[in-house]
Structure 1
Amino acid sequence: MIDPRKLRALLRAVIAGLCLAASVPPWGWWPLAFIGIAMWDRLLSTAKPRARFVRSTVLGLAWFAPAMLWMVDLTAPGYVIAVMLFALYVGVAGLAVPGRSSRSWVRWLALPAAFTLAEAARCTFPVGGVPLATTAMSQASAPLGQIARVFCAIGVTFAVAVVGVALSALWERRHLLGAAALVAVLALWLLAIVAPSGHEIGTINAAVVQGGGPQGTRASETNPRDVFLRHLEATNLVTTPVDLVVWPENVVAVEGPITANREDAELSALAKKLDTTLVVGITEGIDSSKFANASIVYLPDGSSGERYDKVHRVPFGEYVPLRSLLESVVGTNSGLSLRDAVAGTQPAVLHTPAGTLAVAISWEIFFTNRARDGVLHGGQILLNPTNGSSYWLTQVQTQQVASSQLRAIETGRWVLQAAPTGFSAIVTPTGDVVQRTSISEQAVLQQTVALRSGDTIATVIGPLPIVWLSVLFVALAWWFATNRFTSLRSKLRPQRSVKNRGPAKSAI
């Protein structure tokens, strides 16, 4: 028979995980992230190592199962594997917290750091990371999201965990420690508000084109020419004069070089007609096993400009990791994609008459360092051409908008997100979404946006300082929790001298 106390603990772990799930888009109830972390800390406070691991893993399952539900339609086995794997990351984070320490402050030192390391690991491994349903996304529209300007999105994760620990400390009536943690986060937020965010060097009139069409469709079910024509039609909604027009990712799908296909001449004529810089997402079939995914520029005179080929590809979407091994096990007719995208090698930037454009194609916007690469190479505005038309529900699309908000705050740049069926969006350097389309509608988002220069602190230092700080805090917590700290403290404590003691009495 299951111990009722253990059952209650597991139920609390489920509730804590559901709080974290509800805090991220599309739900976005961001204060629940703090409550979820506080509940997690209470679950770890007196738990043995096995209980810490089990409770934390259950929390992770309750977090990722609903927050990554969209993946069921893409790959049901992959959904199960991803949820279980990332839940184990949280389980390991629970083990990394000294739960049975008699000093609560030791646990509170470790918990934010361990949680941050689990999120950092999820954004890195395996297959380059899967940074979906992250804690930082939950704060993209909340006050703490501004901390990304200083310590990147991973710093936002750390701050959320500190607030959760502060709530737990207040629950334990450790008011001084709880208040100190809240004051530290407030100070960090104030630093982010006044920290450098770049400066405006000019303005352009920009238009984001969304061709519209049904959501939840696969490329194999769609005529590429229909998608292209819908975007040509939608571009008629652009008001001239316009300096920059942005089309979504891979809405031009051709075999062979784009220059050998009729779409090249049509796009050239469109750019010349609008007298604008046109940035278009294309895929080019190279051969039976490879293709390219790129953003290319058409100049106002109709000639071709620069191109950027996507660097960070979607695993199992744009390439199959360990393809030869998997095909030897499941066969070549297993449903795996037959072609792999060729990864780009050039900086994520396009030099155009409209300005120097940083580019993060689709999946790349979820990664701090991809947007950072473009800005460090001179990007004055950040483009995110994407394509989420094949995804079920709106979880990925809303989380992508949240990622665009975080990248805007991190880099101090406007972000133009273009999607064929939604969501397309325009985001300010402070992370405010000033325009956003609906799903499946045909629309153009157009307004004056600023070209900006100068680096934020986050752009300069990147995410690694918070990662290494977290490693240090976990190590310190375990040192404090062990006898090494106690023995060192006893050695440093001054010994009392005994004076005027008489001779010892002999025993009779």
Structure 2
Amino acid sequence: MSDTSVRPRALLPLPLALPAAAAAALLMYASYPGPAIWVLAFPAVALLLLALIGRRAGGALLVGLVYGILFFALLVSWTSRYLGPIPWAALSVVEGGLTAIALIPIALAYRWLPRAFPGRAGRLVVLPAVVAALWVGRELFIGNWPYGGFPWARLGMTQAESPLAPVSSWLGVSGLSFLMVLLVAMLIETTRLGVWRRPMRLVAPAAVVAVLLFTPLFPTAGAGSMRIAAVQGNGPTGYFDQREPYSVIDAQTAATEPLYGEDVDLLVWPEGSLDYDPFQDSATARRMTRVANNIGAPLLANAATGRDDLYFNTSMLWMPDGTAEQTHDKRHPVPFGEYVPDRAFYYAIVPDLIGLIGREYTPGVNPPIVDVDGVKVGLAICFDVIYDDLVHQSLTDGAQVLVFQTNNADFRGTDENLQQLAFARMRAIETGRSVVNISTVGTSQIIRPDGTTVTALDADEAGAMLEDVELRSGLTAGVVLSPWIQQLLLWGGMGALLIGWWRSRRA
């Protein structure tokens, strides 16, 4: 056997591995907004991998639980803002537990692959590549299951304001996650084998560094501009906010009035910008028609709507003549926020909390796009921004600009709106499109295709943005290749792990 083979034993004893996992969770949290220290994602990955190296499944599960539960408890602490600790604890434990389970294959890769592929190439290239692929597989698993998944904590999303973000325009967010873990895993093996003293053995990690640092934005073509107004009304849109009839649309209208007389192609209001369903409430419909006429442009608004005994979270393009033939329903309603899966089961456990969720929103099936005088506007409502399938569909349907409508009122004073804004920024870079991210209470921004900010509104203040927003056409490689890259990494990683298991048993 080659001198590069190792016995499958843990690199760190468990009393050291568990604190390392906790430290990894703290650093990983700090790489996301609010702290948003993007470079900390790298030592976070390194500490977690070091804690997993050589562990059996049971030890890996314990390490993963420490990391996963602490990380999610910090990252989504905003879920406790209004509903208290039970939803926060439940989400942290469930997502942390799933994270722990999905980290076991990485630990097994560190046990099996060094024996299956004992040469230096196996240790310096094959093993890191499989570990990175399994990391992406873990993200895909958590992002799709259960109840549609919760892809809020993807590693690549930490890089929205870093020089590494343009990689997503070529490989998608998952491809960026892969390269980040690949680099860290390569450096770990380089250090373990001591080959860092031989510069030629550092070609592979150096190449990954070059790709991460020097990849330019994927080119897309300019297609003119569109004068878009986006209004943050700062009305009482929180679940427990005290409100009078029509107080939300009144707040939105008041913040819109300074724009009357301006040249506007499209007026955008956020998610939850209407108190009532305009297709059922004539007073709301009249108010919207009046605003659209005063602004001289279509109004893209949002409300809870009902059709055929079903409820939807709906964005509608309201025309100055009072018609609204183009609508989009939210594709991924939030479990335990907009609907309750397995309601009877959970009601038996926490009836007071489940009883607060009266409506059961239905997932939308209509395209996430509207046509405004020949300009295709891609849409995502609130948390839909984190789902690749919906955002990418709007691009393949021809979107030249993206509009993300959101209501962050239930999370005032937390990092939630900053995290969501970072995801919107990454979408701009990944897709090569301008993004109008408009919130009821902030933070709202108009973002260029390169991720830089055109203009912004502070949180908890009413205001309006009016800009000539750049339109672009053409699909980035990140949009086209991302689904294929994800499947390649998911099944390639699992396949390589199985091959490693089989070969290690014969070694």
Which TM-score band (shorter chain)? 0.7 to 0.9
The equivalent of 1:495 in structure 2 is none
Q: Does 1:241 align with 2:249?
A: no
Taking a change above 3 Å as real, the CA distance of residues 481 and 115 of structure 1, as seen in their structure-2 partners, is: same
- Give the distance between the partners of 2:203 and 2:77, measured in 1 at CA: 37
Residue pair 1:203, 1:450 contacting (<8 A) in 2 also: yes
What is the Cα deviation at residue 154 of structure 1? 1.4
In the TM superposition, 1:93-108 aligns within 5 A as: 93-97=102-106, 98-100=109-111, 101=114, 103=118, 104-105=123-124, 107-108=127-128
Q: Which residue of 2 is the match for residue 187 of structure 1?
A: 211
Distance 1:333 1:389, change over 3 A: closer
The structure-2 alpha-carbon separation of the partners of 1:330 and 1:401, relative to structure 1 and needing over 3 Å to count, comes to closer
Shift of 1:32: 0.7
Are 1:275 and 1:300, in contact at CA under 8 Å, matched by a contact in 2?
A: yes
- Of 22-31 and 290-299, the range deviating more from structure 2: 290-299
Per the normalisation by structure 2, the TM-score is: 0.87
Give the equivalent residue in structure 1 for 2:435.
415
Whole-angstrom CA distance in 1 between matches of 2:330 and 2:66? 36
How far apart are 1:30 and its partner, in Å? 0.7
Does structure 1 retain, via aligned residues, the 8 Å contact 2:315–2:329?
A: yes
The residue identity in structure 1 corresponding to 2:110 is G
Residue identity in the other structure for 1:46 = G
Larger radius of gyration: 1
Q: Are residue 322 (structure 1) and residue 342 (structure 2) matched?
A: yes
- What is the aligned-residue RMSD (CA, Å)? 2.6
Other-structure match for 1:427: 447
- Find the partner of 1:91 among 90, 97, 100: 100
Give the AA of the match of 1:146. Answer: P
Q: Which runs of 5+ in 1 are unaligned?
A: 488-508
* Secondary structure of residue in 2 paired with 1:394: coil
TM-score (norm 1): 0.87
Choose the corresponding residue for 1:380, options 382, 389, 400: 400
1:116-155 matches, within 5 Å, as 116-155=136-175
Aligned AA (1:154): S
* Letter of the structure 1 residue corresponding to residue 96 of structure 2: A
Q: Distance in 1 between matches of 2:442 and 2:275?
A: 19
Tell me the CA shift for residue 343 of structure 1: 2.5
Residue 331 and residue 47 in structure 1: after superposition, are their counterparts in 2 closer, same or farther (change >3 A)? Answer: closer
Distance 1:316 1:477, change over 3 A: closer
Runs of 4+ with >6 A deviation: none
CA distance in 1, matches of 2:362, 2:49: 44
Q: Distance in 2 between matches of 1:477 and 1:144?
A: 28
Q: Are 2:289 and 1:265 aligned? A: no
For residues 221-258 of structure 1, the C-alpha deviation after alignment (integer angstroms, 9 at most, x for no partner) is 33351121111010023260111110001211215x53
**Match for 1:16 among 15, 24, 28?**
24
Residue type matched to 2:257 in 1? N
| SS of aligned partner of 1:32 | helix
Aligned partners of 1:9, 1:63: CA distance in 2, in Å? 16
- In the alignment, structure 1 residue 398 sits paired with structure 2 residue 423: no
Render the CA deviation track for 1:187-216: whole Å, top value 9, x for unaligned: 3665x52534x211121111110012479x
Q: Where does residue 318 of structure 2 map in the other structure?
A: 298
> Secondary structure at 1:360's aligned position in 2?
strand
- Residue 247 of structure 2 contacts residue 275 of structure 2 at CA under 8 Å; is this kept in 1? no
Deviations 1:376-396 (A, max 9, x none): 112111111110101153322
Match of 1:506 in 2: none
Give the one of 368, 384, 391 matched to 2:388: 368
Change (3 A) 1:224 1:363: farther
Q: Which residue identity does 1:272 align to in structure 2?
A: N
Separation (CA, whole Å) in 2 of partners of 1:37 and 1:383: 33
**What residue number does 1:223 align with?**
244
Cα 1:377/1:334, change in 2 over 3 Å: closer
Give, as a single letter, the amino acid of the residue that structure 2 aligns with 1:47: R
> Out of 225, 230, 236, which is 1:203 matched to?
225
Percent identity reads: 26
Which one-letter code corresponds to 1:372 in the other structure? H
Distance verdict in 2 for CA 1:343–1:470, change over 3 Å = closer
Contact 1:436 1:445 in 2 (8 A): yes
Call closer, same or farther: CA 1:136–1:394 in 2, change over 3 Å: farther
Question: Which deviations, in whole Å up to 9, do the C-alpha atoms of 1:22-67 show, x marking residues without a partner?
Answer: 1111111111111111112222233333222222321222321211
Q: Residue 448 of structure 2 contacts residue 470 of structure 2 at CA under 8 Å; is this kept in 1?
A: no
**What's the secondary structure of 2:433's corresponding residue?**
coil
Change (3 A) 1:55 1:210: same
Cα gap change, 1:412 to 1:330, in 2 (>3 Å): same
Report the counterpart of residue 492 of structure 1 in structure 2. none
